[in-house]
Amino acid sequence: MQRVNLNRGFYLFESFFPVMFMIVFIIVIGAFIYTIASAVARFFHNQRSPEIVVMAKVIGKRTQVHSYRGGSFSQGAHHHHSGFHTETRYFITFETEDLQREEFQVTGKDYGLIKEGDSGRLFYRGTRFLGFERTN
């Protein structure tokens, strides 16, 4: 009768798991570093860019909703048990006089005050929306 070596499968798992763990760890850390570096680079790009004022027309509006499950936490005597949370991002697309289209993320207040078809002066710096002054 031939004997089966069950330890061989365990040995493969034991030698393979640390390698896979390190690969996943490096990918997660790399994605985190990339996200932070992109945000910092965008911030400095916007800071160096001149403020631009152009005549523009609002040609579109959209929202982007993210839902996620939150955790629970304690703060002093208060215990918070949270369920699903949502985050809404607001975007407005402008068309400038030279027919260039620019989409900017805006605050909920700006999103509510500006409507499609509005014309006016668009103020922005790099990729950052600074304001819109309606003229019609």
Q: What is the pLDDT of residues 37-89, one digit of tens each?
A: 999 999 999 899 999 999 999 999 999 998 877 655 555 555 555 577 889 99
Check residue 79 and give its pLDDT.
Answer: 54
pLDDT digits (tens, 9 = 90+) for 105-130: 999 999 999 999 999 999 999 999 99
**What does the block give as tokens for 76?**
């002093």
The domain of 132 spans 51-136
The whole-angstrom separation of Cα 45 and Cα 122 is 19
- Number of domains within the chain: 2
| 7-46: b (≥16 Cβ within 10 Å) or e | eeeeeeeeeeeeeeeeeeeeeeeeeeeeeeeeeeeeeeee
Distances (CA, A) of 93 to 79, 99, 100, 107, 119: 42, 12, 10, 14, 12
Identify the domain boundary among 11, 26, 48.
48
Residues 25 and 62 in one domain: no
Check residue 136 and give its pLDDT.
Answer: 74
The whole-angstrom separation of Cα 106 and Cα 24 is 35
**In this structure, what CATH number is given to the domain that contains residue 79?**
2.40.50.660
Check residue 3 and give its pLDDT.
Answer: 60
Q: Is 50 helix (H, G, I), strand (E, B) or coil?
A: coil
pTM: 0.68
Residues 63 and 86 in one domain: yes
